A and B are shown apart, each in its own frame.
Chain A
Amino acid sequence: MPENLQRDRAPRSRKETLYALVYGVAVAALLAVTGGVPASADETCQSPYMPKITGEEEYIYVWTLGIPGLGDGSDKVVTVDNRKGSPTFGKVIDVDSVGGRGEAHHGGFTDDRRFFWAAGLDDSKIYIFDVATNPANPKLVKTIGDFVEKSGGAAGPHGAYALPGRMMISTLSNKDRDGRAALVEYTNDGTYITTHWLPTNEKTAGAAIEKIADGYGYDARVLPRKNVMLTSSFTGLENYMRPFGEVVKDPEAMKKFGQTMVLWDFHARKPKKVFHVPGAPLEVRWAWGPQHNYAFTSTALTSKLWLVYEDTDGQWKAKEVADIGDPSKTPIPVDISLSADDKTLFVDTFMDGKTRVFDVSNPHKPKQIYEKRIGSQVNMVSQSWDGKRLYYTSSLLSKWDKTGKDNEQFLKAYTWDGKQLKARFEIDFMAEKLGRPHLMRFGSASLYGS
């Protein structure tokens, strides 16, 4: 027996256990607030079931779309060094290509944060990377290539959301390439469990419908303490894999965008209410505060900020709370990021390449307090848990990104002091022959006790 164990050999007494329990309850209270282990830094849009990084994020993992003729042309996970004082700070230190191009888009970590699932919107493949063995050097350990078959026809895997011991994959489409979508569950080691199709007018699954149940999907996120899950809605393969210029000129295609959000009984995985939220509501961000029973989303086509909230009468409701830019100019809001204190919401708009910052202290009356042009186009934004560091990437979809000189492809890192963004570093993904950077996730060796 190791020496340190021998010193502590006596069984824990009831008194000691009592102390441990009280301490444990205190920690549990903190868990209830943070959603995981006590956190001091991490992006704020992660699953609440996941441990958080203690200290600053050390690595940025960027799920990147390959570009034909650029570098190896393959989709890849790009690892960027964010360690203070590192000789490679702000540089690419690892590239893991998946050997093909399948419209790299979103992904996420497992609940133990040991594996990063990266999904392809076009080929419906899911790549599972080990990020725990060496956080500076992720390794592809498994590829799920039969997602459509196993799920019963769901396609276009989008988010990968950590649940206890399993992953929930929200999809955008199906084998017929339209917008009917599903939530598909897998074990953490990549074994299929089950599929939940989003409700439609014909198959409501018992949900109350405000106006329409279109069955479309996009994001899926859980507020555990209220046992509710919210899903949002975008469009199917037939639209998102078609050049954007063609889609907007096709009236029939423009009818095929989501206009709903669904509130679910999460534990039972049953839809309860289908809200009418026209204009393709995309990212869902639950507030973190222990009494904050609300979430934000933005609508891509109508440029509105929406609030889904539990009202004083106990009913969940959805309403518009702000314009994002000038909706008549169709700025196309894309990613949003809510600060851990629920006071500040960053909203990116793809067309004008801007990030807008809203004071959402009163979630019913957001006020824009800042805006900055990040580039000719911008999509994703991730922030640290302390809200002091923000990261932006440029790509939306391979066929929707701008062309010519406006097709800037970058990762840009900033500091935020509550008033303005200041540049830290940037990486030109075209010059580095990497591709179109999309989703960002943070990594750190501190997560694994080493």
Chain B
Amino acid sequence: MFRQLIASLAMVLAVTSAGSLAHDARQDRAATAASGLASTNYAFPLPEPGSYKLPPIKRAAGGRVLDESGRAFDLAGFFKGRVTVLAFIYTRCGDICPVASLQLSLLQDLAATKHDVANQIRLVSVSFDPEYDTPEVMAEHAANWRSKEPGAPDWQFLTAPDREAIAPILAAYDQTIGPKRDPNSPTGPLHHIFRAFLVDASGRIRNIYSLDFLDPRLVLNDIQTLLLEKHTNTNKRTAR
């Protein structure tokens, strides 16, 4: 209900501002959000899964993180055997992170409709604001976003024990975080560049998204491209 409400509001805002801020991709996202499902009316045609390559970029780093119940894990452990979409966020963010989380929630909904895909992927949101985003805060945040549909893919909301623990993870993902000049900024106290990472089942980063390209269907196509690649490689090994 919560997600439907915010999706509808997102659409209303997008439509009412269309005159001055029209953006076909954004409008499409809004339509996507409003329906709760993926739209078929994208601003550009999507390349077919498997029709393009996603070259390995670099190894997806691990590091000590905490899940919503406070249990410690190695971040890299979440990548094993599944295609992962990893995003760095903080819950006090008032601009980009909520939009990114909306996109991930739509991706989760979309993937839930594809049963052959849903159990092969995972979404992971990691906070870079561990002092505020405790496991309890992340649990509350997760409740706002995570689908309760039984067929939906796993979505982990992680944080770190402290700044020292998250620092090497952020460095490995080239995420520079700093305080804003105005700590009371309505958009949140931290300055950051949003990036989300597509990680293959072998733990390699295969794509990096800005908000422009964090489109649920586009990301799902990338996921399917990696799954097809995995399937092809498995067949080749079997043939040998």
Residues of A bordering B, CB below 8 Å: 1-2, 4-5, 8-9, 11-12, 14, 17-18, 20-33, 48-49, 51, 111-112, 114, 132, 163-166, 185, 187-189, 191, 193-194, 224-228, 265, 267-270, 290-291, 448-450
Contact = CB atoms under 8 A, between A and B. Distances in A.
Given A11-B136, A448-B191, A25 B10 contact: yes
A2 B131 CA distance: 9
Given A14-B2, A18-B6, A290 B21 contact: yes
Interface in B175-214: 176, 178-181, 183, 186-187, 189, 191, 193, 195, 197, 208-213
A103 B92 CA distance: 47
B21 A49 contact: no
Contacts of A49: 210, 212
B58 interface: yes
Interface of B: 2, 5-6, 9-10, 13-14, 17, 21-26, 30, 43-44, 46-47, 51-53, 55-58, 91-99, 102, 131-132, 136-137, 140-141, 144, 174, 176, 178-181, 183, 186-187, 189, 191, 193, 195, 197, 208-213, 218
A227 B195 contact: no
A374 to B, nearest CB: 35
Contacts of B55: 185, 193-194
B94 A23 contact: yes
Contacts of B197: 165
Given A23-B95, A27-B99, A132-B176, 7 more contacts: A21-B99, A32-B23, A165-B57, A225-B23, A267-B218, A291-B22, A449-B178
Given A49-B210, A187-B58, A28 B180 contact: no
Given A14-B144, A32-B26, A270-B52, A20 B94 contact: yes
Given A28-B211, A33-B21, A189-B174, A11 B137 contact: yes
B208 A25 contact: no
A225 B137 contact: no
B9 A18 contact: yes
The list of the 4 closest CB pairs from A to B, nearest first, reads: A165-B208, A32-B23, A268-B52, A449-B191
A20 B13 contact: no
A29 B17 contact: yes
A13 to B, nearest CB: 8
- Count chain A CB atoms within 10 A of each CB in B13, B56, B180, B181 and give the residue with the most: B13
A26 B2 CA distance: 19
